[in-house]
Amino acid sequence: MHEKIRQYSLETLPLGGIANANDLARRYPDLCFGESWFNGVRFLLNANYFQTGPNGPRYTEFKSDKPLGRTSSVHLLVNAANAWKRHKGKNLEGVTIGRVQLLFDDETAQETLLILGRNLREWAPGNKPGELVDKVTDPLSQVAWKGRNDRGNEAIIDQLEIPVQERHRKKGLKQISISRDIQPGTPEDILVLAIFAITLER
């Protein structure tokens, strides 16, 4: 029995249309695929996920043919890679590396910044203990899964909840956009953002 399963309607969104990486099984060998519950929320995990990077896409969007009902929260499984605390003399804790935008059927939007050390952290802090951004401070960001990576070191996937603002909750959610948007002055050549699953709460 799952503890603290939320009593609401949950809809998992398939990432197949936006996925560009398929090495999840190799990087996270003891992560279970399929339907998984984290912190009382159901997610759908498979080997494909979306990942930005210096040489990869900077932007993707999940669209629906019709607005996705009245949504109260969007839940994401996320992490970052190459999230050094310092790189080339630059402190990376607290820098923005991406954003999630929710677009509603009246063309209004809500945006959430993805910030290292606040709601985003390194996927494999065990690779270089003490040298990588390994903590988050936002209470809406919780550990979803903790295990071992392909090197046998500690790895983490976080669950980030984005509550929909009250003024948008009666609207239809039309689109979810995810972008790699590096803060000026931050090294462009290393930081990576990954999205593994999306679930809507109604």
Q: Residue ranges per domain, the chain? A: 10-192
pLDDT tens track for 59-99: 888 887 677 778 999 999 999 999 999 988 888 999 999 99
Query: What would the two tokens of residue 123 be?
Result: 């996927």
In this prediction the pTM is 0.92
pLDDT at residue 5 in the model: 54
Long-range Cβ contacts of 38-41 (<8 Å, 24+ apart): 38/77, 38/144, 38/145, 38/159, 39/4, 39/142, 39/144, 39/159, 40/2, 40/3, 40/4, 40/5, 40/6, 41/6, 41/10, 41/75, 41/159, 41/199, 41/201
Q: What is the rounded average pLDDT of the residues 40-62?
A: 87
DSSP class of residue 54 equals T
- Distance set, CA 169 to CA 71, 102, 147, 202 (Å): 6, 11, 35, 9
Structure tokens at 29: 């060998």
CB 182 within 8 A of CB 191: yes
134-162 pLDDT, tens digit each: 999 999 999 999 999 999 999 999 999 99
Residues 116 and 133 sit within 8 Å (Cβ to Cβ)? yes
